[in-house]
Amino acid sequence: MNFNSFEYVMFFIGVLATGWLLVGRPQLRIVFLLLASYYFYASNNGFLLVLILVSTLVDYIAGMRIEDSNDPRRRKLYMIASVVINLGILGYYKYFNFLAGSVAAGGQALGLDTVPPDFNIFLPVGISFYTFQSLSYTADVYMGRLKAERSLLRFSFFVAFFPQLVAGPIVRARYFLHQIPEKPRLTLRAMEGSLYLIFWGLFKKIVLADTLGDYVSAAFDSPEDIGAVTAWLGIYAFAFQIYFDFSGYTDIAIGCARLIGFRLPPNFRRPYASASFSEFWRRWHISLSYWLRDYLYKPLGGNRGKSKIFTYRNLMITMLLGGLWHGAAWTFVLWGGIHGLLLAGERALGLAHFARDYRHRPLFRFFKVFLIFNMAVLTWIPFRATSTENMLEFLSALGRFDHPTSITLGMLVAFLMICGGLMVQWLGEYFPPKRLFLRLPLMLKAFIYAGIITVVVVFSARGVEPFVYFRF
């Protein structure tokens, strides 16, 4: 069930109405919302419920056993069990085919007759997100940051809450669990802000991301047949396609959760207005960035090592595994490695500055933001490429200036969307669009909403395109 489908609209209206009707019976309300979340997740494949139930039960039991035990070895054993079971399930469904194929390819390179087993393993939607979310709970209990949750109902609801279940943001237990027993409140201002996020998210996904996606697919599917103009426009189009798509999902998730009565953390904050890659990762997929920092980078030693070499090593390991989290392919590992090198290089040269650091030097700030944006765009090439061969062919196309290219209407539309998206990113640092919109007169806001609904309905006629991060 996709946010951008009529099925979801009807589902959400029913959940929203029933949820508020049950506000006077909090226990029954959570039971209903949990069942609705399970229905949402099982709408494509009922078997997926088994996987999320296993992760829920494992971490619920592990959390209580960790807190109740006074023996450090037992506590560590329960923590290891949680990690092994959760990552074991994730590894089997997401990485088995990749590892088996890599081993077979390595064997063939050595002259061996190796063929990878074909188990026809499918990737469950959202498994990377809810696995990290559930796993962070046991880690927090183990490190003494959080008391174990004794209610299986509340813990199950924390893991399965449907707005952010399949594509984030990855919510920490200490951020969400305390909200469950609280009486929900929804002010007029919060409701207006939530509607803004939902409509803006739908517009970003259906109108902007899906339109750019058509052009991106044309560029990456056959890079051997395109020239430099098409290739360069294709990679800039993908940079905004993935931003509009993923941030659009996040906007809808946060808005829907707030209407139901729950707060979710932000996941994007104008990443293409960053003045360094360190800042980029504090603005892009924020929940994953901070998850990797707190549960991988810091446990590895962070920047507390005796030598800076250890800091750079920890950065590289974190980003390589962060790339692998996104997908089971060497291109994702390469993408993570490139960002690891850039982050380590910035730290080594003392260049990890933030946009606010240049607020009294606007021209230099513009130069740094422009440079980081263009470098970030280039790093998306291995991320979008379907294979190493596809990536190399696309890189070759970037320099194919002698290829005849005719300017089409689709190229002009893509170019205008890219320029418009970039302007909103940069100007949004000074004039936040949400704040400006909410200050508009009511009639003008109603007119804008009517326009967005009309455009979204018209563009929806192309069909329902799944969100990009559903693949991760």
Burial call 117-133: b when 16+ CB within 10 Å, e when fewer: eeeeeebbbbbbbbbbb
147 and 51 belong to one structural domain: yes
Interval 443-467 mean pLDDT = 88
**Using CA atoms, how far apart are residues 97 and 108, in angstroms rounded to an integer?**
16
164 and 230 belong to one structural domain: no
160 and 202 belong to one structural domain: no
Q: What is the pLDDT of residues 242-285, one digit of tens each?
A: 999 999 999 999 999 999 999 999 999 999 999 999 999 999 99
Q: Is 64 left (phi over 0), alpha (psi -120 to 50) or beta?
A: alpha
Residue 317 lies in a domain: no
| pLDDT above 70 as % of the chain | 99
Residue 336 lies in a domain: no
The pLDDT value given to residue 352 = 83
Distances (CA, A) of 452 to 198, 210, 393, 455, 468: 11, 15, 38, 5, 22
pLDDT above 80 (res 110): no
Interval 53-76 mean pLDDT = 94
Q: What is the pLDDT of residues 143-161, one digit of tens each?
A: 999 999 999 999 999 999 9
The pLDDT value given to residue 172 = 94
Q: What is the pLDDT of residues 425-438, one digit of tens each?
A: 999 888 888 888 88
The catalytic residue positions are 326
**Using CA atoms, how far apart are residues 287 and 289, in angstroms rounded to an integer?**
6
Alpha-carbon Rg for the chain, nearest whole angstrom, is 23
Q: Among 152, 184, 216, which residue terminates a domain? A: 184
162 and 201 belong to one structural domain: no
Categorize the per-residue pLDDT at 106 as very low, low, confident or very high, splitting at 50, 70 and 90. Answer: confident
Number of domains in the chain: 2
pTM, whole model, 2 decimals?
Answer: 0.93
**Using CA atoms, how far apart are residues 446 and 441, in angstroms rounded to an integer?**
9
270 and 384 belong to one structural domain: yes
82 and 65 belong to one structural domain: yes
| Among 376, 380, 394, 386, CA closest to 471 | 386
130 and 209 belong to one structural domain: no
Q: Among 125, 149, 184, which residue terminates a domain? A: 184
Continuous segment of H or E residues that includes residue 365: helix 362-384
pLDDT above 90 (res 234): yes
The pLDDT value given to residue 118 = 67
Residue 1 lies in a domain: no
| Among 280, 333, 328, 415, CA closest to 100 | 328
Interval 384-392 mean pLDDT = 93
Chain centre distance of CA 72:
35
CB 462: neighbour CB atoms within 10 A?
11
Mean of all residue pLDDT scores within the chain: 91
Q: What is the pLDDT of residues 196-213, one digit of tens each?
A: 999 999 999 999 999 999
Question: HEC profile for 310-328?
Answer: HHHHHHHHHHHHHHHHHCC
101 and 193 belong to one structural domain: no
171 and 243 belong to one structural domain: no
The pLDDT value given to residue 429 = 86
pLDDT above 70 (res 116): no
Q: Which two tokens stand for residue 175?
A: 């951020």
Residue 328 lies in a domain: no
106 and 206 belong to one structural domain: no
Q: What is the pLDDT of residues 325-356, one digit of tens each?
A: 998 899 999 999 999 999 999 998 888 888 88
Q: What is the pLDDT of residues 186-199, one digit of tens each?
A: 888 899 999 999 99
Q: What domain range is 408 assigned to?
A: 189-275+353-471
91 and 31 belong to one structural domain: yes
228 and 96 belong to one structural domain: no
Q: Among 165, 184, 203, which residue terminates a domain? A: 184
